[in-house]
Structure 1
């Protein structure tokens, strides 16, 4: 019998089965120390296998080899020794597979015999491992999946039946309860992709029932981030899988999100093969990610990988970002300029560049100007053209736009003209954005631009975005705000006057009748009467102005309203001190609200809302109108009305409510309640939720019932259908709770009603699987009201806080009305020990809560409703003990105070 370590010479002397066993054991033992000797050990294993074949003992070799493999399968995954042995096994199988591949190209009997031996060995090993695929021991399942994954990478070919057996088993292991097992299963399944992609039938069927589809499922649904990461890295990068890979930019795990930008995009290669919407989403998610490492990875991808793909051409990058439609492009290019400042150094924005702007170059000029202005780069700012030159350039593009509009029915096709007009509008917008911060210290340049913008408003029929930008620039160029408003009022008067004088007196009469009919049918007809009464005795004069305005066409009125809206957005002076704006209310805004066209009416309401921010009395008088809009208007009118109400309350506070001739606070609260509970209108719901939180955070509204409605909305399963509202409330409640102990006390005061109404809603649900569990609700409420979570609170304030004392009292109140529900009572009682109860001043409240809890326990026991389990009883006793300890401490304090008082009296 051979007893020394196996060598090439000693292997030839093997003659018994014990020699084969000993030789294999020695190889496995030697492989555990270092992988450096694995190549030699693999060659030794091949010689042992060949010698076993010569002795007709290949079956013994296979059995012994598998027995030694069994020793590795039970080793924990943290042991690196087992990993070395498994690498040896995989390396040996790879060596055998290579021999099989070589023998298939040759036609020698000896090789054919060895081919059979090797195939039997692989078949025996794989089938042996398959026996442990469903073992109870998680270590065995882990090692089996790990080894099978390595074997699948090592094998050049495999029997079809054996392949199906392995693939089916690995597909099942993707759902194993242990994440480590699923992780190894993912590595194994990834090996099947190449084989299935070679199959024409699978290619025709797409992703259906393939390894690729399984990996996609894991990426989207596995709860473990490491498993999802393994699937992400191993999924083949093809056009069919790009979307599944890139959607991990929204993964909950920051490492997975970072890998999308740092690795997946590199493997995909040229970003230009991705659709514009995908590139837009990638940049939006990455540059706005809350994790700094993800942001940095996205910046590196954009500034180096993408830009290098385009040979450093930043204008082509801007073109690929579709800047005329993109919302992230400006931020993206700012990041590029910040990351690669050499582009700023090379750029020269002279007059030649400005006179030949395209959409891309205009966008780059705007971003470039913003960057050097923010960084106060004086040298670069001085290189820019003078203000007068800039004004002439802008005038050139205004005239070019006018020619495009005149040429709509000329030589160019309508589609081409629309595209040209869109690009020209974009160029003008970018130049106007620059003009708001441009240096107009030169009086000649200032006057030139002022005159240009004024004339452009009157004659160029600008788009809405351009109008707002023009108003911003005009407000800065004007001498003062009063002069600015007077100029705008004159422009609007000129627009409406020209339109009015083009009508005949007969047409004026017809239009007045039509307008009256439409106004009478609308929901604001009642408001019109109220307005007339309020504005008396000048009602006749006002009606005359309104009737004249009714003759103005819808297009002109809409344009005038857009100018008025842009003006009001940049105006801050009191409305009573601005006669020009007051005249716009009577001559333009009120008539627009009474129009039958929703677009005009909506814009008129928006302008009225902006006016209300400048005058408190007007806000009081207009709240009723906005309330009517929310209750009776179409959806767009409802949204505008609700936004206006929130803005008014945010500006003037609740002092405008409950006034003479105004609206009472109860009506407003009901309005907010109905809009927040209107699940049929998700956008209205979201605006209501956002507006309420702004008012609550500013302590403008302090109504407990209204905040209870917010909590009920949050715990309602229907909120899952409104992502905007869900995100708003999910963010708003913690911010509100942690900002002040007063806010936490408000939440504590509504705990009882919230729990009872939530449970009532739960009982009415048809599908209870979507509902939040009672334990989860209690856990969230406890966390929100924990005084230790308040920002900047001192230890003294935490000890003095009675928030959780009120919470405990509310829990007991809730249990009193739902004593017959064992689940509810048990959950509430088990929540009591989680409360942060301190030496609070609310000892009376806790004493009463403890007494009520005793009565509940007696009622449950006396009526035999149900039996409380040990954890519940322990929680009750713990609460009793705490309350009793507070009593003793308070009694001692009272006695000490009494003794000190007696001592002081005796001394005196």
Structure 2
């Protein structure tokens, strides 16, 4: 029995939870979901039932960040169906904002694109009766132009060309109306630019295989880029068209140089006046011609009056000659227009336009060589613009300098202080450009390019510059820099009897340490954009093995779970994609995740109550790290036998046991003990089984918590089963050893018998009988040796695995230097 409306609301939400945890799209579940959505929608339009609508929507909006993906999916599904069933009904503005915020957050899930494309867009299109233009009218094309463009591209990709052409007249009418409108209005001007942008993008579909078409497109691009009224938003699209026409980089650089010169020094047309003396003479001649024309006109009139048409014709010919003379004299008296080069334009608008075009030129993938023309513009246009007062110009200048640095390692080394200074002192947008440039430079040239040029001679470029993971302090929530001394005795740089490269190693380490430390510190920046950028950049460096650091991995894991980054959708999405890709790509990477396991949990366990890290669910962190260190998920395993060695889970089992035993307090032991039960231990490692058995006994003596003891007992059962398995194997091995000893004794007896037979048979029997006896002895020996070879195959396989591990490590090395750093 339900006593009141409050009980009804609670019971409705309670029973709805059973549906929300179902992940499989079964018909019964889908019908219940539709029933729930219809009930909520009906309650929203009923004043008496509005409480049910409000309570249910509040519950759904609070549940959209649940850990279980089925719950997140059902929340989105129920909300979407509810809004659809409400139809033309009105929703509260605050509720609409909460729904939009919820849906934006769910875009960070791994599979939003397919759902949006196949479900949401189709529903929108159906609502507008399959009219794409009406759908565009309902979208926010002003502030979300990219999303609108992607939506239309997906819809049009499923429509035939004939259907698109049939509806193009509607677009044509809208285009004509827009172009003829008053461009002084901001919205109309933005619409015009958007339409022009789409038309420019259509150029790439034109047939430019013949020289005439290429010349026409090239002329169009040059004229538009040189136009003073060109919007900078159109420059990237025009440069893309220019790249399609001019495939050879050298030709494209030459044309862009001409365009920039025309923009900086446009040709100006001036009228040159006629010399005064010459003008006086021309006026005199013109007056004389006019007087003669008047006389001839009177003569022609008299001849016509007298009907002397022959004379009139002659006079008319003279008049025509004088008219030509009059026209020529008039043209000589008119000032002649002359094209002269103007002074170089250095205003902000011109500089920004030239920098934008230069940046788009250098962004092309085939621009990888520092030519004389590019170097000239870098020195004359880019570098002088870096201290400019306009932030937009400084941003483009830094971006252009970074692109130039990608083409030349010396440029990167020379202007590194500029990037470092701007990263710390300038505006946020400019700092972002500088940080992006730094990450790109490290990705292309490596960290070794930042050492002094005269010290590079001692290093071996083909060897990895490995800096040891020293035993420095644990990862802290924030705090000061941790200086790590270079490892002693590193023979990567130093050859036997040569100590001249010690300074090189130290300098490379210090330079790399300082640079990476600065980038790591940006993970705690107040700007969400900078935090996300640095997290993404450091993830790329780790993934490409430019740097190796287990403590950096630990910081990224903590950053991912930190409640402070809850609103950083892109950051969490980036790290969520990075962790499994990195961990499962090689055994080396999984080892780094293994080394980050304990330090990560220690930071979370030891976080003070006032820290945001105290709100992190340790169980979720443990579950993630255990999954990332799963040995069966590694993709780059040369042989399945490699899984029989010491895996990351094996090492973690020992480390977790030692951590529980050595902990000063029992906080976190429950989580660590539960982690032991999640590990997949190797089945063929007898030494591991014995060690873990001893450790599990110690754990049972140290831990007193009942929940932890339950997990430890479960782990102990697993270890005992593993140990008993090896005991049975050992007993079998003892039997095999006995057989082997007996076989050796038998072999000795057979050899002695064979020798005795050989000596006797030579005297008493034929040679054929002797060969027959010797063959029997050899057959017995070969059978015994075959059994011994079979028994020793395990050790040969283990040796092959060891060599395989070295081969995997060799494959993991990047094509250039790899730096191993720890923070």
TM-score for both structures, normalised by structure 2: 0.62
Go from structure 1 to structure 2 and tell me whether the alpha carbon gap of 1:848 and 1:739 turns closer, same or farther (over 3 Å shift): same
Deviation at 1:214, TM superposition (A): 2.8
Aligned twin of 2:715? 875
- Residue by residue over 1:697-723, the C-alpha shift from the partner in whole angstroms, topping out at 9 and shown as x without a partner, is 223322222222212323433332433
- Is residue 810 from structure 1 mapped to residue 655 from structure 2 by the alignment? yes
Deviation at 1:821, TM superposition (A): 2.0
**Residues 359 and 426 in structure 1, CA contact (< 8 A), matched pair in contact too:** no
Deviation at 1:556, TM superposition (A): 1.8
**Residues 590 and 628 in structure 2, CA contact (< 8 A), matched pair in contact too:** yes
**Structure 1 CA distance for aligned equivalents of residues 38 and 82 of structure 2:** 18
- 1:821 aligned to which of 662, 665, 668: 665
Aligned ranges for residues 430-445 of structure 1 at < 5 Å? 430-445=198-213
**Structure 1 CA distance for aligned equivalents of residues 110 and 160 of structure 2:** 21
- Is residue 307 from structure 1 mapped to residue 129 from structure 2 by the alignment? yes
Aligned twin of 1:321? 139
- Name the SS for the 1:628 alignment partner: helix
**Structure 2 CA distance for aligned equivalents of residues 593 and 455 of structure 1:** 28
**Residues 778 and 831 in structure 1, CA contact (< 8 A), matched pair in contact too:** yes
Deviation at 1:743, TM superposition (A): 1.9
**Residues 450 and 477 in structure 1, CA contact (< 8 A), matched pair in contact too:** yes
Go from structure 1 to structure 2 and tell me whether the alpha carbon gap of 1:619 and 1:816 turns closer, same or farther (over 3 Å shift): farther
- Is residue 196 from structure 1 mapped to residue 67 from structure 2 by the alignment? no
Aligned ranges for residues 592-671 of structure 1 at < 5 Å? 592-658=385-451, 660=453, 664-671=511-518
Aligned twin of 2:583? 737
- Name the SS for the 2:545 alignment partner: coil
**Structure 2 CA distance for aligned equivalents of residues 601 and 837 of structure 1:** 56
Aligned twin of 1:468? 236
Aligned twin of 1:776? 620
- Is residue 358 from structure 1 mapped to residue 126 from structure 2 by the alignment? no
- Residue by residue over 1:66-101, the C-alpha shift from the partner in whole angstroms, topping out at 9 and shown as x without a partner, is xxxxxxxxxxxxxxxxxxxxxxxxxxxxxxxxxxxx
Deviation at 1:835, TM superposition (A): 1.1
- Name the SS for the 2:668 alignment partner: helix
Deviation at 1:425, TM superposition (A): 1.8
- Residue by residue over 1:820-868, the C-alpha shift from the partner in whole angstroms, topping out at 9 and shown as x without a partner, is 3224334323422321111466x6677666666666666x48xx99997
Deviation at 1:433, TM superposition (A): 1.0
**Residues 423 and 434 in structure 2, CA contact (< 8 A), matched pair in contact too:** yes
**Structure 2 CA distance for aligned equivalents of residues 898 and 604 of structure 1:** 80
**Structure 2 CA distance for aligned equivalents of residues 665 and 894 of structure 1:** 55
Deviation at 1:441, TM superposition (A): 2.3
- Is residue 555 from structure 1 mapped to residue 373 from structure 2 by the alignment? no
- 1:589 aligned to which of 370, 376, 382: 382
- Residue by residue over 1:759-786, the C-alpha shift from the partner in whole angstroms, topping out at 9 and shown as x without a partner, is 122x35357772213x332222112111
Gaps of at least 5 residues in structure 1 are 1-131, 134-164, 199-206, 226-249, 362-396, 405-411, 501-548
**Structure 1 CA distance for aligned equivalents of residues 435 and 250 of structure 2:** 30
- Residue by residue over 1:556-608, the C-alpha shift from the partner in whole angstroms, topping out at 9 and shown as x without a partner, is 211111111111112524333x2211111101111112324332222111111
Go from structure 1 to structure 2 and tell me whether the alpha carbon gap of 1:253 and 1:758 turns closer, same or farther (over 3 Å shift): closer
**Residues 604 and 613 in structure 2, CA contact (< 8 A), matched pair in contact too:** no
Go from structure 1 to structure 2 and tell me whether the alpha carbon gap of 1:483 and 1:224 turns closer, same or farther (over 3 Å shift): closer
**Residues 499 and 553 in structure 1, CA contact (< 8 A), matched pair in contact too:** no
Go from structure 1 to structure 2 and tell me whether the alpha carbon gap of 1:338 and 1:654 turns closer, same or farther (over 3 Å shift): same
**Structure 1 CA distance for aligned equivalents of residues 70 and 681 of structure 2:** 38
**Residues 604 and 614 in structure 2, CA contact (< 8 A), matched pair in contact too:** no
- Residue by residue over 1:643-672, the C-alpha shift from the partner in whole angstroms, topping out at 9 and shown as x without a partner, is 112222223344535563797221222123
**Residues 832 and 879 in structure 1, CA contact (< 8 A), matched pair in contact too:** no
Aligned twin of 1:756? 602
**Structure 2 CA distance for aligned equivalents of residues 790 and 746 of structure 1:** 13
**Structure 1 CA distance for aligned equivalents of residues 671 and 78 of structure 2:** 42
**Structure 1 CA distance for aligned equivalents of residues 102 and 175 of structure 2:** 25
- 1:835 aligned to which of 660, 664, 679: 679
- Is residue 747 from structure 1 mapped to residue 593 from structure 2 by the alignment? yes
**Structure 2 CA distance for aligned equivalents of residues 283 and 332 of structure 1:** 16
Aligned ranges for residues 120-139 of structure 1 at < 5 Å? 132-133=1-2
**Structure 2 CA distance for aligned equivalents of residues 280 and 346 of structure 1:** 38
- Is residue 296 from structure 1 mapped to residue 118 from structure 2 by the alignment? yes
**Structure 2 CA distance for aligned equivalents of residues 446 and 499 of structure 1:** 25
- Name the SS for the 1:327 alignment partner: helix
Aligned twin of 1:789? 633
Aligned twin of 1:490? 258
Go from structure 1 to structure 2 and tell me whether the alpha carbon gap of 1:215 and 1:468 turns closer, same or farther (over 3 Å shift): same
**Structure 1 CA distance for aligned equivalents of residues 187 and 106 of structure 2:** 29
Aligned ranges for residues 272-283 of structure 1 at < 5 Å? none
- Is residue 674 from structure 1 mapped to residue 544 from structure 2 by the alignment? no
- Name the SS for the 1:838 alignment partner: coil
Q: Which structure carries more relative contact order (alpha carbon 8 Å, separation 6+)? A: 2
**Structure 2 CA distance for aligned equivalents of residues 426 and 295 of structure 1:** 23
- Residue by residue over 1:879-899, the C-alpha shift from the partner in whole angstroms, topping out at 9 and shown as x without a partner, is 466467558858977996998
**Residues 605 and 641 in structure 1, CA contact (< 8 A), matched pair in contact too:** yes
Aligned ranges for residues 414-433 of structure 1 at < 5 Å? 416-433=184-201
**Structure 2 CA distance for aligned equivalents of residues 623 and 892 of structure 1:** 66
**Structure 1 CA distance for aligned equivalents of residues 516 and 735 of structure 2:** 49
**Structure 2 CA distance for aligned equivalents of residues 898 and 671 of structure 1:** 65
Go from structure 1 to structure 2 and tell me whether the alpha carbon gap of 1:295 and 1:624 turns closer, same or farther (over 3 Å shift): same
- Name the SS for the 1:585 alignment partner: helix
Go from structure 1 to structure 2 and tell me whether the alpha carbon gap of 1:274 and 1:251 turns closer, same or farther (over 3 Å shift): farther
Normalized per residue, the structure richer in helix is 1
- Bigger Rg, which one: 2
- Residue by residue over 1:669-704, the C-alpha shift from the partner in whole angstroms, topping out at 9 and shown as x without a partner, is 2123211233x2221111111112222222332222
- 1:695 aligned to which of 535, 541, 563: 541
**Residues 554 and 600 in structure 2, CA contact (< 8 A), matched pair in contact too:** yes
**Residues 243 and 252 in structure 2, CA contact (< 8 A), matched pair in contact too:** yes
**Structure 2 CA distance for aligned equivalents of residues 812 and 289 of structure 1:** 38
Q: Point out the more displaced range, 293-302 or 327-336.
A: 293-302
**Structure 2 CA distance for aligned equivalents of residues 714 and 836 of structure 1:** 25
Go from structure 1 to structure 2 and tell me whether the alpha carbon gap of 1:186 and 1:427 turns closer, same or farther (over 3 Å shift): closer
**Structure 2 CA distance for aligned equivalents of residues 353 and 834 of structure 1:** 60
Question: How large is the RMSD of aligned CA atoms in angstroms?
Answer: 4.9
Go from structure 1 to structure 2 and tell me whether the alpha carbon gap of 1:472 and 1:698 turns closer, same or farther (over 3 Å shift): same
TM-score for both structures, normalised by structure 1: 0.57
Gaps of at least 5 residues in structure 2 are 21-31, 269-342, 455-506, 749-780, 786-823
- Residue by residue over 1:605-625, the C-alpha shift from the partner in whole angstroms, topping out at 9 and shown as x without a partner, is 111111222223323333343
Go from structure 1 to structure 2 and tell me whether the alpha carbon gap of 1:807 and 1:594 turns closer, same or farther (over 3 Å shift): same
- Name the SS for the 1:829 alignment partner: helix
**Residues 575 and 582 in structure 1, CA contact (< 8 A), matched pair in contact too:** no
Go from structure 1 to structure 2 and tell me whether the alpha carbon gap of 1:901 and 1:750 turns closer, same or farther (over 3 Å shift): farther
**Structure 1 CA distance for aligned equivalents of residues 574 and 106 of structure 2:** 18
Go from structure 1 to structure 2 and tell me whether the alpha carbon gap of 1:484 and 1:692 turns closer, same or farther (over 3 Å shift): same
**Residues 499 and 556 in structure 1, CA contact (< 8 A), matched pair in contact too:** no
**Structure 1 CA distance for aligned equivalents of residues 110 and 682 of structure 2:** 41
Go from structure 1 to structure 2 and tell me whether the alpha carbon gap of 1:342 and 1:767 turns closer, same or farther (over 3 Å shift): closer
Aligned twin of 2:562? 716
Aligned ranges for residues 16-165 of structure 1 at < 5 Å? 132-133=1-2
**Residues 609 and 644 in structure 1, CA contact (< 8 A), matched pair in contact too:** yes
- Is residue 457 from structure 1 mapped to residue 225 from structure 2 by the alignment? yes
